[in-house]
């Protein structure tokens, strides 16, 4: 079931939580709503669910497939909703929690109790909790509770599954595990899913497409890959990963900042360039296009790459570079070592064109 | 809670104690423990007595009053309320004190008329024009007559009413127990409300408009009629009723302790004086002083007054057979 | 936000029902008290209030309340500190014991004091021998008033102090603060509103207690009559206006209690909003 | 009573790191023994003077038994009415905003703040057949004053805050996700309330109603004016105690009082234990 939003906005009193937005989600897609807190992502999700009502003006519409649900009550929208803090019914067993949606159906549509039982057991099997059926939520771990919550949301075979920061309250390891498991489940059952997160890694890893939001606006909607490589604007770029800043003035194709110089193809004037950590190479000698002396202040060789913190007189804030372990060994890095930074790419988001596509330049070394 | 305000509170408390402790005046104080509807009566009598005592002895005294249900009052004295004299509406309540040794054993002989300076009887208060035509006790057992009087279990007033009805029936049926019981059963069944005290019954009858007839002391029904308008109610004194004595006694152990024996004795004797008897008659109590009786004759219709002894033997016996747990009253009220 | 029972029709229906019921059930009696008190005009009302015996009753009532509060305060705080900060055998029993005054009918409460301290009681006869009178004097009234009001402060504090736990006090101990300072500087600021609230409830009950006091008072006019007893006597005297005038004073104290309580709550709610 | 006073706290209690154990224990024990326990010996002293057979005869006297029935019946009706009414009031006060809400909230404590004797004479005045309310109800065939309806009414009046003030904080603390979860799963308002909200409020509601019931069992001052006190019909147990006192029958009064006392304490204990169990289930405690 596809989801289409047209001109959906929301005010809370006088504050605008959400500017009127349009959004199309294809059937079977798994879409992440990403943004910092207060960006309107949860509001948007709750409006889609029917937990909040969109502003009357400018008369927005919400369509599930061909079904206009704009004025439909939450209970009639046939959605599954997973809450950040699980929101399990504490006085009911796991089984009763999962069965709840089925047992509150109008008598005519309600499946027989035998069928309810088998359906709930299938769901519990799916979330690997069949042996916990008679436990109370208070007796489960956070990860288990969230799985119950998911099973409960799926019990009614919803057209649309909405998840509000589903893994936000869990610790890192469980979060990782559940993420993968959700992706599996999604691929297997192929429902349309929309989830809210403030964790860019989670959004990029899990989603088919990501909707980046800030200040009640949608900044960009794209696949994780495009989003990362071609951020629509400075906000998206900065929000999606670590950023190194380079501020200076350009004269005759050379940007100067203290005793650092970088050849750029830009008009004269003040400039600010942005670089991802992996776009910064380290070398023992300056290159023709770049003379940027730095000192290593911290090294963290944990994970697939080595993170190196760099400081210099010409830098306001230290830079971060990620290099391969091989390079780390080759350069014999240690704290206090002086090196030269060689930008491979840089990005530029002119202030007056904040919402225009960025200019990304590759510099060849 | 700010500490300053706490300190202020404590200071106020300390001051309060100072104020609350009765001023230890040089003058003697006499405490009269009385029944609850006698407040106005003694408010009128006490100043007269104080004047009288001052004139006779040149001493200034003060009279304190304690009022409550007669039984509760006697209980308070048993448990240590230091009243010098008691002025009750029930013989049993004084007898309890005598049994406990607080009042002389022969207290009924120590003052005239069984130590009862005034008396009353049980009478009816009916609504304007007496719509149910109630003249005597047998009118009360008619179908559809609603009676209001206080609970004999909790009120001496109620006990007199019960005994008066019993006395009437006993006389009427010549002692046929079966018929007396039947009469009493019907009588009790016609009761609309059993308030715990006389005042509650009055409120039910007057202010809540319940019942066709209120039964209480003659003095009470007259006072009520005066209080609530003589046009709306009529007092009926039945041809046969009960003698309700209002016994008084000195609580000797307390009077001795307080050094008030002479004062206490004089106070009770004063109640027999012409002056006091006139005031009592003014409050619609029947009195013994001949001149006063003559003066107020038309206020008190002649009626046959049965004594408690004539109806059911001594008070002790009456309390046992009629009002005790599982006694006749309980049996008659059983469904 | 969508919540259960949010539909305008449901909301309107429920609010109307609640307001109507509360008005009939709670507000109307309050109005009736004042209506009765002023039934014969302000002058009669005023004459009744300024009557010597009424004034004496007011004074005694206030004194009893003022004396009751510090006792209940000390006991309540000590008990709450004990059962929420320490574990020891008998803790639960102690906590249940303070509910006795709630479970005992006030008349019975008065009776048990009378049976003990009255002239025929085993303590009372000894006291009587030494010419000490507790019952039928203000000490007796004070004692039963303390009995019926003592759970309020403790019951107010215990859940709060339990919920807060003792981390802050423990931190103060590690910083070397002496016991009294810990209580005054750490505990007291956390519990003061609950404490004050307990005091308000204690006061309301102390001022209004009838059943227990009536048993031990002796009802000596001008000496041991509290306002509720005085009210009852006026009622017995066919002085309905006088009775309701006294009732209206008590109702006024009740109203002040409600206002004090409500303003405490609003203040607490405001503080929470700012936090 | 306060909003929070009946909540069961769950904080843990540490070892004796903190000072003041001796002092607070001393004050508490002295007070409890002198003010609470010592006087109770008077009651039990009276009871000790009775043989078991006498005790049994007193407390099973059929008029007394009838008073149990009246008292328990009226208290039960009052408690049930209060459960519904109290739930409604707590719900409205927590869930809705409307003008006069604060006033309504403050009004909830009136029955605790108002002396019971005042409540008694006022209710009797209002509901008598010529009172403001009685005049309206009587023509409808509903007689309140001097019937057990009046007893139940007075009981309900004096105990309504117990229910409101126990349910209110629990309802306030209930996360809105509970409602939302029920709604997203397709529950109607009524089903959602019945299956999700009510079970959540259940411990508080039962506790509040139980406390209201206990309070009603012992109430005297507010009831006696409106009861009518007809034997077997509108006599409450507290009146039976009062009657025994009038008869100087302290032992009898103590015996009946002890029945009420034990019933009340037992009920309080049952409520506490049951609530403890329930809360354990909701908040963990494995197994």
Question: What's the confidence (pLDDT) of residue C99?
Answer: 77
Question: What's the confidence (pLDDT) of residue B24?
Answer: 43
Quick one: C4 and C107 in the same domain?
no
Whether D287 shows a pLDDT value over 60: the answer reads: no
Q: How far apart are CA D267 and CA D215, in angstroms?
A: 11
C contact set with A (CB within 8 A):
1-2
Residue B148 lies in a domain: yes
Give the CA dihedral C271, C275, D2, D6, nearest 10 degrees: -170
The mean pLDDT value for C177-192 works out to 84
Of D128, D230, D252, the CB nearest to B325: D252
Quick one: B52 and B148 in the same domain?
no
Residue B54 lies in a domain: yes
Q: What is the second-level CATH architecture of the domain D44-282?
A: Orthogonal Bundle (1.10)
Give the chains touching C; criterion: ≥3 Cβ pairs < 8 Å: A, B, D
Chain D residues within 8 A of B92 when measuring between CB atoms: none
Which range of residues forms the domain containing residue C244?
41-274
Separation in Å, CA of C214 to nearest CA in chain B: 9
Record: fold of A242-362: OB fold (Dihydrolipoamide Acetyltransferase, E2P) (2.40.50)
Interface test with A, best of C2, C6, C7, C9 (most A CBs within 10 A): C2
> Domain total for chain C?
2
**Nearest chain C residue (CA) to D81:** C21
Question: What's the confidence (pLDDT) of residue A120?
Answer: 94
Whether B5 shows a pLDDT value over 50: the answer reads: no
Least confident of A1-5, A54-58, A348-352: A348-352
Between chains, do C124 and B12 touch, taking CB under 8 Å as contact? no
Q: Does A81 touch chain D (CB under 8 A)?
A: yes
Q: SS3 breakdown of chain D: % helix, strand, coil, rounded to 5? A: 75, 0, 25
Whether D156 shows a pLDDT value over 90: the answer reads: yes
pTM exceeds 0.90 for this model: no
Portion 112-131 of D in contact with C at CB < 8 A: 112-119, 121-123, 125-126
Chain A residues within 8 A of C2 when measuring between CB atoms: 50-53, 73-74
- The two beta strands, B85-87 and B240-242, are unpaired
Domain boundaries, given as residue ranges, for chain D: 44-282
Least confident of A191-195, B242-246, D233-237: D233-237
Quick one: C116 and C171 in the same domain?
yes
Between chains, do D89 and C178 touch, taking CB under 8 Å as contact? no
The mean pLDDT value for B185-201 works out to 86
Q: Does B325 touch chain D (CB under 8 A)?
A: yes
Separation in Å, CA of D264 to nearest CA in chain C: 6
Q: How far apart are CA B158 and CA B151, in angstroms?
A: 5
Query: Which tens digit of pLDDT belongs to each residue from C75-116?
Result: 999 999 998 888 888 887 887 788 788 778 788 888 888 888
Whether D251 shows a pLDDT value over 90: the answer reads: no
Question: What's the confidence (pLDDT) of residue C274?
Answer: 60
Between chains, do D130 and B209 touch, taking CB under 8 Å as contact? yes
Chain A residues within 8 A of C1 when measuring between CB atoms: 51-52
Give the CA dihedral A88, A93, A95, A98, nearest 10 degrees: -20
Query: Which tens digit of pLDDT belongs to each residue from D75-128?
Result: 999 999 999 999 999 999 999 999 989 889 888 888 888 888 889 888 988 888
Quick one: C28 and C147 in the same domain?
no
Q: Where residue A361 falls among pLDDT bands split at 50, 70, 90?
A: low
Query: Which tens digit of pLDDT belongs to each residue from B19-36?
Result: 444 444 447 899 999 987
Quick one: C50 and C29 in the same domain?
no
The mean pLDDT value for B215-231 works out to 88
Higher pLDDT, C234 or B55: B55
What distances in angstroms separate CA A95 from CA A82, A136, A149, one per listed residue?
Answer: 17, 9, 11
A-C contacts at Cβ under 8 angstroms: 8
CB D204 within 8 A of CB D166: yes
Q: Which ipTM was obtained for this model?
A: 0.78
Chains A and B touch (3+ CB pairs under 8 A): no
Of C63, C114, C222, the CB nearest to B79: C114
Chain B residues within 8 A of C199 when measuring between CB atoms: 1
CATH number, domain containing residue B102: 3.40.190.10
Quick one: B295 and B217 in the same domain?
no
Query: Which tens digit of pLDDT belongs to each residue from C206-220?
Result: 998 888 888 888 888
**Nearest chain D residue (CA) to A76:** D186
Separation in Å, CA of C262 to nearest CA in chain D: 6
Whether B15 shows a pLDDT value over 50: the answer reads: no
Q: How far apart are CA A162 and CA A152, in angstroms?
A: 12
Between chains, do D9 and C85 touch, taking CB under 8 Å as contact? no
Q: Where residue B217 falls among pLDDT bands split at 50, 70, 90?
A: very high
Separation in Å, CA of B297 to nearest CA in chain C: 27
Query: Which tens digit of pLDDT belongs to each residue from A310-322?
Result: 988 888 889 999 9
Between chains, do B208 and D124 touch, taking CB under 8 Å as contact? yes
Quick one: C204 and C163 in the same domain?
yes
Query: Which tens digit of pLDDT belongs to each residue from D255-277?
Result: 998 898 888 888 888 887 787 77
Query: Which tens digit of pLDDT belongs to each residue from A204-236?
Result: 888 999 999 999 999 999 999 898 888 888 888
Q: Does D181 touch chain C (CB under 8 A)?
A: no
Q: Where residue B47 falls among pLDDT bands split at 50, 70, 90?
A: very high
- Which residues 6+ apart lie within 8 Å of D63 measured at CB? B330, B333, D231, D232, D235, D240
Chain B residues within 8 A of D224 when measuring between CB atoms: 196
Question: What's the confidence (pLDDT) of residue C273?
Answer: 64
Whether B39 shows a pLDDT value over 70: the answer reads: yes
Chain D residues within 8 A of C197 when measuring between CB atoms: 2
Quick one: B257 and B317 in the same domain?
no
Q: Does A152 touch chain D (CB under 8 A)?
A: yes
CB A114 within 8 A of CB A48: no
Q: Does D278 touch chain C (CB under 8 A)?
A: no
Chain D residues within 8 A of C265 when measuring between CB atoms: 3, 105
Question: What's the confidence (pLDDT) of residue C102?
Answer: 76
Whether C13 shows a pLDDT value over 90: the answer reads: yes
What distances in angstroms separate CA C241 from CA B44, C39, C224, one per listed residue?
Answer: 21, 7, 22
The mean pLDDT value for A263-291 works out to 86
DSSP per position, chain C: ---TT-SHHHHHHHHHHHHHHHIIIIIHHHHHHHHHHTTTHHHHHHHHHTSHHHHHHHHHHHHHHHHHHHHHHHHHHHHHHHHHH---TTHHHHHHHTTHHHHS-HHHHHHHHHHHHSTTSHHHHHHHHTT---TTSHHHHHHHHHHHHTHHHHHHHHHHHHHH-SHHHHHHHHTT--HHHHIIIIIHHHHHHHHHHHHHHHHHHHHH--HHHHHHH--BTTTT--HHHHHHHHHHTT-HHHHHHHHHHHHHHHHHHHHHHHHHHHHHHHHHHH-
Question: What's the confidence (pLDDT) of residue C243?
Answer: 87
Between chains, do C219 and B20 touch, taking CB under 8 Å as contact? no
Q: Does C208 touch chain B (CB under 8 A)?
A: no
Question: What's the confidence (pLDDT) of residue C40?
Answer: 86
- Return the CATH number of A3-230, one of 3.40.50.300, 3.40.50.1370, 3.30.360.10, 3.20.20.100: 3.40.50.300
Between chains, do C4 and D179 touch, taking CB under 8 Å as contact? yes
The mean pLDDT value for A25-52 works out to 91
Between chains, do B194 and D230 touch, taking CB under 8 Å as contact? yes
Percent over 70 (pLDDT), chain D: 91
CATH number, domain containing residue C226: 1.10.3720.10
Q: Where residue B109 falls among pLDDT bands split at 50, 70, 90?
A: very high
Chain D residues within 8 A of A88 when measuring between CB atoms: 181
Separation in Å, CA of A196 to nearest CA in chain C: 18
- Which residues 6+ apart lie within 8 Å of D264 measured at CB? C102, C103, C104, D214, D217, D218
> Domain total for chain B?
2
Query: Which tens digit of pLDDT belongs to each residue from A160-194?
Result: 999 999 888 788 888 888 888 888 888 888 889 99
Between chains, do D96 and C11 touch, taking CB under 8 Å as contact? yes
Question: What's the confidence (pLDDT) of residue B4?
Answer: 45
Quick one: C53 and C21 in the same domain?
no
Most confident of A14-18, A116-120, C184-188: A116-120
Least confident of A20-29, A83-92, B274-283, C178-187: C178-187
Q: Does A290 touch chain D (CB under 8 A)?
A: no
**Nearest chain A residue (CA) to C1:** A52
Quick one: C98 and C127 in the same domain?
yes
Q: How far apart are CA B8 and CA B168, in angstroms?
A: 66
Q: Does B13 touch chain C (CB under 8 A)?
A: yes
Domain boundaries, given as residue ranges, for chain A: 3-230, 242-362
Question: What's the confidence (pLDDT) of residue C272?
Answer: 66
Nearest to A216 by CA among A26, A25, A33, A4: A33
Q: Does B22 touch chain D (CB under 8 A)?
A: no
Portion 60-119 of D in contact with B at CB < 8 A: 61-63
Which range of residues forms the domain containing residue B192?
122-242+303-333
Give the chains touching D; criterion: ≥3 Cβ pairs < 8 Å: A, B, C
Chain B residues within 8 A of C135 when measuring between CB atoms: 79-81
Chain D residues within 8 A of A155 when measuring between CB atoms: 185
Residue B18 lies in a domain: no
**Nearest chain C residue (CA) to D153:** C25
Q: How far apart are CA B52 and CA B37, in angstroms?
A: 24
SS3 A80: strand
Quick one: C267 and C134 in the same domain?
yes
Question: What's the confidence (pLDDT) of residue B303?
Answer: 92
């Amino acid at each position: 079931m596809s989801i289409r939003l047209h001109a959906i906005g929301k005010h809370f009193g006088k504050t605008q939580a959400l500017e009127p937005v349009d959004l199309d989600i294809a059937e079977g897609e798994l879409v992440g709503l990403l943004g910092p807190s207060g960006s309107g992502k949860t509001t948007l999700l709750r409006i889609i669910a029917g937990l909040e009502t969109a502003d009357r003006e400018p008369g927005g519409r919400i369509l599930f497939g061909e079904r206009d649900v704009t004025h439909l009550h939450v209970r009639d929208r046939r959605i599954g909703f997973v809450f950040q803090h699980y929101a399990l019914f504490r006085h009911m067993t796991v089984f009763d929690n999962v069965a709840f949606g089925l047992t509150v159906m109008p008598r005519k549509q309600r499946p027989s109790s035998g069928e309810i039982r088998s359906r709930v057991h299938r769901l519990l099997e799916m979330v690997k909790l069949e042996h916990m059926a008679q436990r109370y939520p208070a007796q489960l771990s956070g990860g288990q509770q969230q799985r119950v919550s998911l099973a409960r949301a799926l019990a009614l075979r919803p057209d649309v599954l909405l998840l509000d920061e589903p893994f936000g309250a869990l610790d890192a390891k469980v979060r990782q595990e559940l993420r993968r498991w959700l992706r599996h489940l999604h691929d297997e059952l192929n429902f349309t899913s929309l989830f809210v997160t403030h964790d860019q890694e989670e959004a990029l890893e899990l989603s088919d497409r990501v909707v980046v939001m800030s200040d009640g606006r949608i900044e960009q909607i794209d696949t994780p890959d495009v989003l990362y490589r071609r951020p629509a604007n400075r906000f998206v770029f900065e929000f999606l990963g670590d950023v190194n800043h380079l501020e200076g003035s350009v004269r005759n194709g050379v940007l100067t900042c203290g005793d650092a110089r970088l050849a750029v193809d830009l008009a004269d004037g003040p400039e600010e360039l942005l670089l991802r950590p992996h776009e910064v190479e380290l070398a023992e000698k300056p290159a023709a296009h770049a003379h940027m002396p730095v000192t290593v202040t911290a090294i963290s060789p944990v994970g697939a790459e080595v993170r190196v913190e760099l400081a210099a007189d010409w830098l306001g804030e230290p830079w971060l570079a990620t290099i391969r372990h091989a390079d780390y060994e080759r350069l014999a890095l240690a704290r206090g070592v002086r090196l030269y930074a060689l930008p491979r790419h840089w990005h530029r988001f002119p202030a007056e064109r904040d919402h225009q596509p960025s200019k990304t330049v590759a510099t060849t070394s | 809670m700010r500490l300053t305000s706490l300190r202020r509170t404590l200071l106020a408390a300390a001051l309060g104690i100072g104020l609350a402790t009765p001023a230890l005046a040089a003058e003697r104080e006499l405490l009269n423990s009385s029944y609850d509807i006698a407040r106005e009566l003694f408010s009128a009598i006490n100043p007269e007595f104080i004047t009288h005592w001052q004139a006779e002895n040149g001493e200034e005294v003060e009279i304190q009053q304690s009022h409550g249900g007669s039984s509760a009052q006697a209980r308070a004295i048993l448990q240590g309320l230091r009243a010098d004299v008691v002025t009750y509406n029930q013989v049993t309540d004084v007898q309890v004190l005598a049994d406990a040794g607080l009042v002389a054993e022969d207290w009924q002989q120590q003052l005239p008329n069984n130590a009862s300076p005034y008396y009353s009887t049980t009478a009816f208060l009916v609504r304007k024009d007496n719509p149910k035509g109630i003249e005597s006790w047998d009118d009360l057992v008619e179908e559809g007559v609603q009676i209001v009087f206080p609970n004999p279990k909790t009120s001496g007033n109620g006990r007199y009413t019960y005994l008066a009805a019993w006395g009437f029936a006993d006389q009427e049926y010549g002692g046929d127990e079966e018929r007396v019981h039947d009469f009493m059963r019907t009588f009790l069944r016609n009761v609309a409300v059993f308030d715990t005290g006389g005042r509650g019954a009055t409120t039910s009858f007057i202010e809540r408009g319940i019942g066709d007839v209120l039964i209480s002391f003659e003095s009470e029904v007259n006072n009520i009629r005066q209080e609530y308008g003589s046009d709306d109610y009529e007092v009926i004194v039945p041809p046969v009723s009960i003698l309700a004595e209002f016994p008084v006694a000195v609580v000797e152990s307390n009077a001795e302790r307080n050094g008030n024996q002479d004062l206490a004795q004089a106070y009770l004797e004063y109640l027999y004086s012409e002056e006091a008897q006139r005031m009592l008659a003014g409050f619609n109590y029947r009195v013994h002083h001949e001149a006063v009786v003559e003066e107020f004759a038309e206020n008190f219709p002649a009626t046959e007054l049965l004594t408690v002894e004539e109806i059911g033997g001594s008070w002790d016996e009456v309390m046992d057979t009629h009002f005790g747990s599982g006694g006749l009253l309980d049996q008659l009220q059983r469904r | 936000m969508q919540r259960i029972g949010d539909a305008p029709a449901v909301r309107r229906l429920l609010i109307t029902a609640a307001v109507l019921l509360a008005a009939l059930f709670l507000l109307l009696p309050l109005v009736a008290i004042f209506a009765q008190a002023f039934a014969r005009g302000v002058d009669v009302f005023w004459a009744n209030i300024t009557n010597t015996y009424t004034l004496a009753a007011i004074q005694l009532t206030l004194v009893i309340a003022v004396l009751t509060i510090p006792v209940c305060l000390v006991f309540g705080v000590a008990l709450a500190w004990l059962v929420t900060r320490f574990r020891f055998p008998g803790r639960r029993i102690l906590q249940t014991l303070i509910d006795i005054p709630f479970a005992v009918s006030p008349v019975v409460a008065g009776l048990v004091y009378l049976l003990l301290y009255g002239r025929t009681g085993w303590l009372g006869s000894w006291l009587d021998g030494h010419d000490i009178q507790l019952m039928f004097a203000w000490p007796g009234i004070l004692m039963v008033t303390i009995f019926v009001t003592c759970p309020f402060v403790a019951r107010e504090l215990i859940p709060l102090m339990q919920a807060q736990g003792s981390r802050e006090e423990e931190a103060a101990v590690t910083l070397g603060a002496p016991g009294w300072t810990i209580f005054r500087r750490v505990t007291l600021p956390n519990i003061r509103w609950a404490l004050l609230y307990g005091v308000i409830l204690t006061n309301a009950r102390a001022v209004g207690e009838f059943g227990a006091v009536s048993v031990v008072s002796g009802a000596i006019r001008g000496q041991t009559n509290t306002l509720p007893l005085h009210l009852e006597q006026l009622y017995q005297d066919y002085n309905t206006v006088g009775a309701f005038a006294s009732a209206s004073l008590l109702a006024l104290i009740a109203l002040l209690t409600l206002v004090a309580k409500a303003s405490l709550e609003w203040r607490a709610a405001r503080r929470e909003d700012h936090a | 009573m306060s909003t929070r006073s009946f909540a069961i706290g769950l904080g843990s209690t540490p070892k004796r790191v903190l000072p003041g154990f001796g002092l607070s224990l001393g004050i508490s024990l002295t007070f409890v023994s002198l003010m609470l326990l010592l006087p109770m010996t008077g009651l039990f002293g009276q009871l000790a003077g009775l043989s078991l057979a006498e005790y049994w005869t007193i407390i099973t006297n059929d008029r007394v038994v009838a008073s149990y029935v009246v008292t328990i019946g009226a208290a039960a009706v009052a408690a049930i009415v209060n459960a519904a009414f109290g739930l409604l009031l707590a719900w409205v006060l927590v869930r809705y905003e409307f003008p006069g809400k604060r006033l309504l909230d403050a009004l909830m404590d009136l029955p605790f703040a108002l002396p019971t004797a005042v409540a008694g004479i006022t209710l009797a005045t209002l509901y008598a057949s010529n009172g403001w309310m009685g005049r309206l109800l009587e023509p409808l065939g509903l007689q309140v004053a001097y019937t057990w309806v009046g007893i139940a009414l007075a009981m309900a009046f004096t105990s309504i805050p117990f229910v409101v003030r126990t349910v209110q904080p629990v309802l306030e603390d209930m996360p809105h996700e509970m409602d939302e979860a029920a709604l997203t799963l397709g529950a109607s308002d009524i089903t959602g309330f019945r299956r999700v909200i009510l079970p959540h409020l259940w411990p508080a509601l039962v506790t509040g109603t139980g406390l209201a019931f206990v309070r009603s069992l012992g109430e005297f001052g507010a009831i006696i004016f409106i009861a009518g006190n007809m034997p077997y019909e509108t006599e409450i147990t507290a009146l039976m105690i009062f009657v025994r006192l009038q008869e100087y029958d302290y032992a009898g009064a103590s015996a009946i009082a002890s029945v009420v006392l034990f019933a009340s304490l037992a009920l309080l204990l049952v409520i506490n234990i049951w609530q403890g169990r329930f809360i354990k289930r909701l908040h963990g405690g494995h197994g």
